[in-house]
């Protein structure tokens, strides 16, 4: 069989474009490296998920010093959206322009916010995003409301929200893709549990690419899903991809090929295939944000269950004491003792980490990581090498100071010998925000893809995950990946 399209990967980009093409009647084959993630009690077990790595891949990558690490990525139907925190924010309108940072220049995109605006709205509708327009001080232009009302704050979080507003800040309800009905809880898949951010959802209540995009189309006769199968190479003939070769030895043919393995694995696939790299840019300009997780402690016990409901963008493009951008702040999901245990000294007793978790509120700060051609993905044999050089760290340091100020406002200080917060810069293995390895643009000498995310060098190869980003902005990339997949799907359907 020659399919209309073969889609490699079923995450935010691949799952979304598969849904659109399937509903348009295309005969498609989705090839997913993993299987369906099992629904089991361990889905909600912090020790299993965070300490034991129950759902981590059975592979290691190498950093620039040849040191192996287990990447924080996941191979399942739905990809990394099975584990994401479901914070679905739009890039700011100015993120699409050239922006000066402490670490250098963030380049302009070949398209602008207006080109993505319609698709952002459609992405929010598709992934059932809950939010409140007008609260975010830097929200890009949008006349339509969010598809679903904002997720409410629990009392402790509502108190923090009020304190921050009294101090002149503009906290907002974080836009979240969860399948929640607060008015009619009996009809709600989401039960507002304390195991959402970073966990797979046992209640199937997270708006992940599996449940939103893949599951609804699997009964269609024109949709074929092949799981537990890795695409090893793309094989080209006469400036076109002719077929894919899998690790089972089988090959499959199609008219069009859509790669959506995540920015790192998509670049690795093109490098293994020795394709689409006339520019020498495949794998380069890897970005993953400067992210830190901060655990703020209080003498008062934190009885919040669903915690991740506040975002702060007051310092996104600067502050009174900073003319240059700093970044984005948001709450993390509920902190558990098992999450802290991995970073605690070996002699720290379990009851100490449990006490800390019971008195903690987790925060997440994100500063923009700038494109650097020497931050790159390489493949030697079948081994992925990730050579990453963080940039713009001054902005991240300044943003951390702003969070310390916020913690003073919120009352999360303690008055006996223990640090008031624990801050951990996310290491190289934290690749959840991976973007930039096959960036799009008008110039085939400096970019891998054209503005429709088709490879400049090939007639029928598209890449629709975070690879296409020329810059990273400072908000979670998932909604932009989804919106872009909708945009590319419209182009393919219109030109087929």
DSSP letters spanning 240-290: EEEEEEETTS-EEEEEEEEE-S-HHHHHHHHHHHT-S-TTS-TT-S-B--E
**Arithmetic mean of pLDDT, 214-220:** 98
Q: For residue range 447-471, what is the model confidence (pLDDT) as tens digits?
A: 999 999 999 999 999 999 999 999 9
Q: Round to whole Å and give the CA distance between 5 and 26.
A: 7
Rg (CA), the chain: 22
What's 410's DSSP letter?
H
Distance of CA 426 to the CA centre of its chain: 14
Which residues are CB-neighbours of 494 under 8 A, at least 6 positions away? none
Q: What is the largest CA-CA distance in the chain?
A: 71
Q: With 0-12 CB in 10 A as exposed, 13-18 as middle and 19+ as buried, what is 80? A: buried
State the pLDDT confidence band at 289, using cuts at 50, 70 and 90.
Answer: very high
- Which residues are 70's β-sheet partners? none
Half-sphere exposure of 458 (CA within 13 A, CB side): 28
> What pLDDT does 348 receive?
64
Kindly state the percentage of the chain with pLDDT values over 70: 96
> How far is the CA of 67 from the CAs of 146, 166, 429, in angstroms?
44, 48, 11
pLDDT of residue 166 exceeding 90: yes
pLDDT of residue 160 exceeding 90: yes
| Closest by CA position to 84, among listed 174, 266, 206, 264 | 206
> What pLDDT does 408 receive?
82
Q: Round to whole Å and give the CA distance between 487 and 85.
A: 24
> What pLDDT does 412 receive?
56
Q: Round to whole Å and give the CA distance between 96 and 98.
A: 7
DSSP letters spanning 394-423: HHHHHHHHHHHHHHHHHT---SSSS-SEEE
3-state secondary structure of 1: coil
Provide the phi-psi class of 327: left if phi over 0, else alpha when psi is between -120 and 50, else beta: left
Q: If you average pLDDT over each of 144-148, 164-168, 298-302, which comes out highest?
A: 144-148
- Give the fold, CATH level 3, of 2-495: FAD/NAD(P)-binding domain (3.50.50)
> What pLDDT does 421 receive?
61
Q: Which residue has the higher pLDDT, 6 or 417?
A: 6
> How far is the CA of 38 from the CAs of 173, 204, 240, 489, in angstroms?
31, 11, 37, 30
3-state secondary structure of 493: helix
Provide the phi-psi class of 127: left if phi over 0, else alpha when psi is between -120 and 50, else beta: alpha
> What pLDDT does 172 receive?
98
Hey, where are the domains in the chain? 2-495
Q: For residue range 420-433, what is the model confidence (pLDDT) as tens digits?
A: 567 778 999 999 99
Confidence (pTM): 0.97
Q: Round to whole Å and give the CA distance between 465 and 13.
A: 5
Q: For residue range 373-420, what is the model confidence (pLDDT) as tens digits?
A: 999 999 998 999 999 999 999 999 999 999 988 888 776 554 233 345
Reported as type and span, the H/E element at residue 116 is: helix 113-126
Average pLDDT, the chain: 94
3-state secondary structure of 61: strand
Q: Which residue has the higher pLDDT, 409 or 20?
A: 20
Q: For residue range 120-138, what is the model confidence (pLDDT) as tens digits?
A: 999 999 999 999 999 999 9
> What pLDDT does 419 receive?
45
> What pLDDT does 392 receive?
97
Six token digits for residue 108: 């302009």
Six token digits for residue 195: 């195991």
State the pLDDT confidence band at 444, using cuts at 50, 70 and 90.
Answer: very high
Q: For residue range 227-271, what is the model confidence (pLDDT) as tens digits?
A: 999 999 999 999 999 999 999 999 999 999 999 999 999 999 999
Q: For residue range 307-350, what is the model confidence (pLDDT) as tens digits?
A: 999 999 999 999 999 999 999 999 999 999 888 876 665 556 78
Provide the phi-psi class of 436: left if phi over 0, else alpha when psi is between -120 and 50, else beta: left
> What pLDDT does 174 receive?
98
Q: For residue range 185-210, what is the model confidence (pLDDT) as tens digits?
A: 999 999 999 999 999 999 999 999 99
> What pLDDT does 415 receive?
29
């Amino acid at each position: 069989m020659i399919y209309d399209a073969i889609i490699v990967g079923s995450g935010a980009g691949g799952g979304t474009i598969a849904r659109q093409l399937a509903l348009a009647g295309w005969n498609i084959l989705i090839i997913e490296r993993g299987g369906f993630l099992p629904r089991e009690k361990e889905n909600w077990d912090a020790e299993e998920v965070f300490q034991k790595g129950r759902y981590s891949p059975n592979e290691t990558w190498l950093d620039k010093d040849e040191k192996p690490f287990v990447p924080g990525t996941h191979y399942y139907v739905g990809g990394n959206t099975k584990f994401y925190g479901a914070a679905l924010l739009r890039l700011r309108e100015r993120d699409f322009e050239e922006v000066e940072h402490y670490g250098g220049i963030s380049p302009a995109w070949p398209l602008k916010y207006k080109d993505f605006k319609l698709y952002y709205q459609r992405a929010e509708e598709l992934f059932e995003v809950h939010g409140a327009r007008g609260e975010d001080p830097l929200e890009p232009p949008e006349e339509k409301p969010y598809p679903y009302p904002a997720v409410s704050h629990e009392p402790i979080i509502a108190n923090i929200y009020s304190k921050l507003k009294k101090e002149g800040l503009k906290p907002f309800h974080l836009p979240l893709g969860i399948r929640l009905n607060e008015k009619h809880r009996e009809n709600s898949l989401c039960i507002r549990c304390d195991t959402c951010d970073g966990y797979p959802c046992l209640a199937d209540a997270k708006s992940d690419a599996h449940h939103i995009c893949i599951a609804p189309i699997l009964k269609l006769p024109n949709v074929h899903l092949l799981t537990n199968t890795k695409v090893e190479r793309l094989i080209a003939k006469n400036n076109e991809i002719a077929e894919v070769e899998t690790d089972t030895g089988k090959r499959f043919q199609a008219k069009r090929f859509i790669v959506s393995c995540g920015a790192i694995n998509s670049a690795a696939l093109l490098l293994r295939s020795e394709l689409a790299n006339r520019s020498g840019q495949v794998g380069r300009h890897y970005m993953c944000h400067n992210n830190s997780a901060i655990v703020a402690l209080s003498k008062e016990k934190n009885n919040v269950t669903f915690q991740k409901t506040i975002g702060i963008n007051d310092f996104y493009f600067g502050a009174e004491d900073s003319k240059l951008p700093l970044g984005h702040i948001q709450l993390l999901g509920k902190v558990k003792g098992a999450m802290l245990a991995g970073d605690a000294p070996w002699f720290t007793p379990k009851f100490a980490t449990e006490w800390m978790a019971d008195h903690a509120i987790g925060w997440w700060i994100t500063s923009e990581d700038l494109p650097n051609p020497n931050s790159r993905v390489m493949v030697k044999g079948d081994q992925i090498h990730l050579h990453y050089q963080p940039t713009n760290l001054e902005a991240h340091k300044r943003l951390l100071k702003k969070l310390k100020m916020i913690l003073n406002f919120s009352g999360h200080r303690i008055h006996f010998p223990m640090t008031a917060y624990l801050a951990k810069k996310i290491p190289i293995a934290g690749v959840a925000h991976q973007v930039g390895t096959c960036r799009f643009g008008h110039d085939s000498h400096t970019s891998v893809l054209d503005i429709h995310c088709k490879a400049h060098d090939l007639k029928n190869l598209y890449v629709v995950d975070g690879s296409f980003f020329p810059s990273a902005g400072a908000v979670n990339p998932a909604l932009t990946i989804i919106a872009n997949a909708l945009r590319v799907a419209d182009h393919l359907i219109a030109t087929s």
